Amino acid sequence: MALYFAPAVFFFLLAQCVRAPRGARLFCALALAVVGTVGAMLLPWIRSPAQLQQLLVRLFPVARGLYEDKVANVWCAVNVVVRLRSLLPIWSLVRLATAATAVAFLPACLHMFAVLCRRGSARISGADAGLLLRYCLLNTSLAFFLFSFQVHEKSILLPLVPALMLLDSEQWAVSWLVQVALFSNYPLLFRDGQRMPYWVLAVGWSFLRGCPACPADAQTPRLVARLQWVSTLVMLAIHAGHALLAPPPSLPDLYVVLNVEFSCAMFAAFFLYFNYRQFACLRPRAAAPTAAPAKQKTS
């Protein structure tokens, strides 16, 4: 799960090495620290190749397939139209998921790296660098959730960690993202008999963060507030159908699939929005035009 954040951290530290006066020494020190830490963690198993192989199999459960259960990421959502698991062998799916994940997270990482490596007057402050890192952590973790191989429903909690660190500057977007993330886990919580905690959290978060269940936050744009209402009505409609209407025999997982399709579309929209916000967050504002100097009267 640490891979969700690893690309952002790597490019952030690499930029520090580029900026530092003795960057090569810092890079070697960081590399030794990483290799040493990983080696110390694997030391109990590294003497036995069989045990080390079992450890890697559990860390990367390739044998389980592209996805194990219905989860709100791209591969499960696309499966309604294109049955990738039937069309491609498993190692082709691994390569496809890896390539798609890399293509998704690299723009945010390369943007952060380029901005942090600026020199001279364009060099950003520590506070701006921290803000940029939080956006990049959110975008890389969303990329992994949407496109990586073998994603679990609860993995959406990982992007929520950096998202909540952006709550002050992205209040309406983060509040909305948390609401959709909770909704995406409803099939899992329902299966485990956690309906009451789900509804307590859903309603409680709505009232605490100013979501559509209570008066809209003053900072929320009017169009966004309307879209929040629409998404809330869609989620309530899926809940109502699940509670009151039995699915047709030919579509026993109808409401779970509807949950997956809606949640995946919302997560993809949030992914695009937060990438845009990362690229725009440090964009310099246009300077206000200065008044033309008054002409002196000539005698």
Please check the confidence at residue 290 and state whether its pLDDT lies above 50. Answer: no
Lowest mean pLDDT among 6-15, 119-128, 231-240: 119-128
Separation of alpha carbons 51 and 288, rounded Å: 65
Confidence of residue 142 (pLDDT cuts 50, 70, 90): very high
Percent of the chain clearing pLDDT 90 (strictly above)? 52
Whether the CB-CB separation of 18 and 117 falls below 8 Å is answered with yes
Q: What is the pLDDT of residue 9?
A: 95
Confidence of residue 235 (pLDDT cuts 50, 70, 90): very high
Compute the radius of gyration of the chain from its Cα atoms. 24
Residue type (1 letter), 256: V
DSSP-derived letter for residue 72 is S
Q: Which H or E run contains 86?
A: helix 84-87
Place of tokens 């929520």: 160
Q: What is the pLDDT of residue 111?
A: 95
Query: Could you state, in order of their start, the residue ranges of all structural domains in the chain?
Result: 2-30+59-280
Q: Minimal CA–CA distance to 257: which of 34, 113, 72, 102? A: 72
Please check the confidence at residue 278 and state whether its pLDDT lies above 60. Answer: yes
Confidence of residue 48 (pLDDT cuts 50, 70, 90): confident
Separation of alpha carbons 179 and 197, rounded Å: 14
pLDDT higher at 299 or 33:
33
Separation of alpha carbons 275 and 130, rounded Å: 16
Q: Minimal CA–CA distance to 166: which of 201, 124, 136, 123? A: 136
For residues 241-250, average pLDDT: 91
Separation of alpha carbons 15 and 113, rounded Å: 6
Across the chain, mean pLDDT equals 86
Residue type (1 letter), 62: V
Separation of alpha carbons 234 and 251, rounded Å: 19
pLDDT digits (tens, 9 = 90+) for 103-128: 999 999 999 999 998 865 556 788 88
294: tokens are 């008054």
Separation of alpha carbons 132 and 282, rounded Å: 8
Residue type (1 letter), 215: P
Percent of the chain clearing pLDDT 70 (strictly above)? 89
Lowest mean pLDDT among 96-105, 136-145, 211-220: 211-220
Q: Minimal CA–CA distance to 67: which of 51, 85, 52, 80? A: 85
Whether the CB-CB separation of 38 and 121 falls below 8 Å is answered with no
For residues 248-272, average pLDDT: 94
Q: What is the DSSP string of 119-160?
A: -GGGPPPHHHHHHHHHHHHHHHHHHHHHHSSS--GGGGHHHH
Confidence of residue 218 (pLDDT cuts 50, 70, 90): low
Whether the CB-CB separation of 146 and 264 falls below 8 Å is answered with yes
Separation of alpha carbons 181 and 247, rounded Å: 24
Given phi > 0 = left and psi -120 to 50 = alpha, else beta, which region is 138? Answer: alpha
Q: Please, which residues have CB within 8 angstroms of residue 102's CB and are 6 or more apart in sequence?
A: none
Please check the confidence at residue 297 and state whether its pLDDT lies above 70. Answer: no
